[in-house]
Structure formats: C-alpha cells, structure tokens
C-alpha cells in the first residue's frame, strides 16, 4: 500500500502518552495476544482473566512512544484521511448527503470510552455514543503474529472496517440494528450482529475500490492481504483455532467465507446498495 508522504487526518485524538495500564507478569507474549484475540472475536470479555493473570494493570502511567509507534500512527492517520475523502465522495454521489467523519482515538494499554474501557481485551472498536473509533496500534502486531493477517493493507482494512461502522451510524442503520438486538434473544441478536459486521466488510470493500481509483494507493497483493485478514478473523476460523467446534449460533462477525465475499462485493461494485446484508437472501 502506497501511503508514505501523503496527507494525514486532523481527526486524530492521541492519548498514547496518557494511556493507563500495561501487560505485566502472568500470561505473556503471544500467549497473552492469543487470549486477547480469542476473547475479542468470540465476544468474550477477557479483562477479568487478564487481570487475574497479571495481564492488565489499571494504573495510569507515562507511556513511551517509540519510532515504530510513530510510524503506525502516521499510517493510521493517512488511512483515516483516505476514508474521509472516499466517504465524502460516496455520500455526495450516491446519497446526495454530507458525510461527517469520526474521530479516531489512538491509545496504548488502556483508555476509557462511553462504551466502556478500551484495552487489548476489547480490540479496535467504534463507539456510537461519541462517534469515535478506538485503536491501540499494538493490535496490528496481534494481527500479524497471532492471526497470520500480515501486511499494511490488512491493517488498513481494520481501520476501514471500524470507520464503516461510523458510516452505518451516519446512515441510521447501526442505531436501528442495535435497538432491535436489545429486544430479541441472544441468538437472534447474534444474527443481527453478523449482518452489521458483514455490511461493514462490504463498505470496507467500497473504500478499497474508491481509494485505488482516487489515489492509486493499492499495490499488487494488497487485496489478497485484506481477504486473508477477513479469513483469519472469521468466527468459524477463530473458533477452530481456539480448539473449539464452530457453533454458528454464537457467531457475531460471520464466517471467513462470508467476510471475504462481502468485502469482495463492495470492492467489485463500489455501490452502497449492494451491501444490504439485512435484505440478502443468503449471507
């Protein structure tokens, strides 16, 4: 992905120097990463486990910002700027509407949001209450080492996916879906969650297509990186890798095949209407 030397976003809230909490003792290295990844993508809050194992220490600390941290922050800033330009254009062209971009919060360790604590146990997420994306850039290391989702475009896909949830919020889709989820059984709510996530994957595909057309930023192999990332974070793949038999009624993000297919749909069409997972006969 061609990103160096390009415009970054001003919509970054950098909390890295203020972040609290750190990994200490107990489970460490890739073992800690694996627990975090499994917990996040299977919908399990593993914070108590990490605390019990000495995994997260809640105290506030001064966090050292390394050269690698700065490069990751610059990468996220450029990717976010790309999403701003692309979605501004898509909203204007396809909806005759104005796009209001989100704020992206960068942090290291632990920070707070209206949707709860943000930490390695939660992974990247979008909070509709304050319309902010929360991201610890260490998650890119998690993707590469624990998930096998390597490459800068795989990391860009993560940013684009969380921004896509903001797009859903701007369109009123996220609020309606979450209101419905609150009224139904857990199994039905999980099914709606899958539709939300797959639509975000489809919107991520739209972003990839439009970004390549606008900036020529996609290089050979980039789409393959994104599709591999989608595969590695499918519910069935994550459950298998955790030593479990896949249980579809517990899925909240969709299977690997579904995530790949919906990303590909958005990339091929570039059309918001093609991403209506809620009306699809087959996901």
pLDDT of amino acid 56:
39
Sign of the C-alpha dihedral computed for residues 199, 202, 208 and 214 taken in this order: negative
Sign of CA dihedral 165, 10, 233, 22: negative
State the first-to-last Cα distance of the chain, in angstroms, to the nearest integer. Answer: 29
Taking 50 as the threshold, does the pLDDT of residue 28 lie above it? Answer: no
In 41-178, DSSP assigns E strands to 57-60, 103-106, 110-113, 116-119, 125-127, 132-135
> 219-274, pLDDT tens digit by residue?
767 777 777 777 777 777 778 877 888 888 888 888 989 999 999 999 999 999 99
What are the extents of the domains in the chain?
Answer: 12-19+38-43+61-274
Helix (H, G, I), strand (E, B) or coil at 200: helix
For tokens 């993560």, name the residue. 158
Pick from 139, 121, 137: nearest CA to 12:
137
Percent of the chain with pLDDT over 90: 42
User: Does the global pTM surpass 0.85?
Assistant: no
**Is the pLDDT confidence value at 52 over 50?**
no
pLDDT tens per residue across span 145-177: 555 555 577 788 889 999 999 999 999 999 999
- Dihedral, CA atoms, 192, 194, 199, 200, nearest 10 degrees? 120
Alpha helices in 146-282 (DSSP H): 152-170, 173-181, 186-215, 222-232, 235-241, 256-269
The kind and range of the H/E element at 14 are: strand 12-14
Q: What is the CA radius of gyration of the chain?
A: 18
């Amino acid at each position: 992905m061609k990103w160096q030397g390009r415009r970054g976003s001003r919509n970054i809230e950098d909390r890295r120097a203020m972040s609290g909490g750190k990994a200490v003792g107990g489970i460490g290295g890739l073992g800690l990463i694996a627990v975090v990844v499994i917990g996040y993508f299977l919908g399990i809050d593993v914070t108590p486990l990490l605390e019990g194992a000495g995994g997260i220490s809640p105290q506030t600390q001064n966090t050292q910002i390394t050269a690698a941290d700065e490069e990751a922050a610059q990468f996220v800033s450029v990717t976010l700027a790309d999403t701003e330009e692309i979605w501004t254009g898509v909203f204007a062209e396809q909806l005759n509407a104005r796009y209001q971009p989100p704020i992206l919060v960068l942090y290291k360790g632990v920070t707070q949001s209206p949707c709860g604590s943000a930490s390695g146990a939660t992974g990247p997420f979008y909070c509709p209450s304050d319309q902010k994306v929360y991201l610890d850039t260490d998650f890119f290391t998690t993707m590469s080492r624990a998930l096998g989702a390597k490459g800068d475009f795989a990391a860009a896909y993560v940013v684009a996916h969380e921004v896509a949830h903001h797009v859903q919020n701007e369109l009123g889709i996220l609020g309606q879906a979450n209101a419905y989820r609150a009224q139904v059984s857990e199994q039905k709510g999980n099914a709606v969650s899958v539709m939300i996530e797959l639509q975000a994957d489809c919107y991520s595909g739209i972003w990839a297509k439009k970004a390549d057309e606008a900036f020529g930023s996609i290089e050979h192999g980039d789409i393959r990186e994104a599709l591999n990332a989608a595969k590695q974070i499918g519910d069935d793949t994550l459950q298998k890798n955790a030593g479990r038999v896949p249980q579809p009624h517990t899925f909240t993000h969709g299977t690997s095949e579904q995530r790949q297919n919906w990303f590909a749909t958005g990339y091929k069409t570039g059309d918001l209407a093609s991403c209506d997972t809620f009306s699809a006969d087959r996901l």
